Amino acid sequence: MKEAKTSPSNRKGQRRRMRLFFFFILCFFVWTGYTLYLQSGVLAEKRSELEALKQETVVLQQKQEELTYEASRLNDQEYLAELARKRIYYTKQGESIYVIPE
């Protein structure tokens, strides 16, 4: 069998094609890295937003529980009478209210 000899001009063309191929591969990796870098920044921002919203959710849930408890207490007549005495200085017959400045 005879080995095929490659001519020097054919080798140059092969090298050009390989360089072009590696150049495109390099461009692809640079583009991919840049895209990942940008997305990691956006992802970090979204994570911090999520943490802030979770904390806000916890605070709002606690406030909702307090308001639910307060609303359930408003059904109690004794509690309503106590509130009326404190807030609008409601008195029973024969009582006197003295306001002490703080």
pTM of the model: 0.51
Alpha carbon distance 67, 73 (integer Å) = 10
Burial 29-58 (b: 16+ CB within 10 A, else e): eeeeeeeeeeeeeeeeeeeeeeeeeeeeee
pLDDT of 48: 96
pLDDT of 10: 84
Please give the structure tokens belonging to residue 98. Answer: 């003295």
- For 92, which DSSP code? -
Alpha carbon distance 81, 91 (integer Å) = 9
* H/E stretch holding 77: helix 77-88
Contact 89, 97 (CB under 8 A): yes
pLDDT of 96: 79
pLDDT of 87: 84
Residue ranges in the chain whose pLDDT is less than 50: none
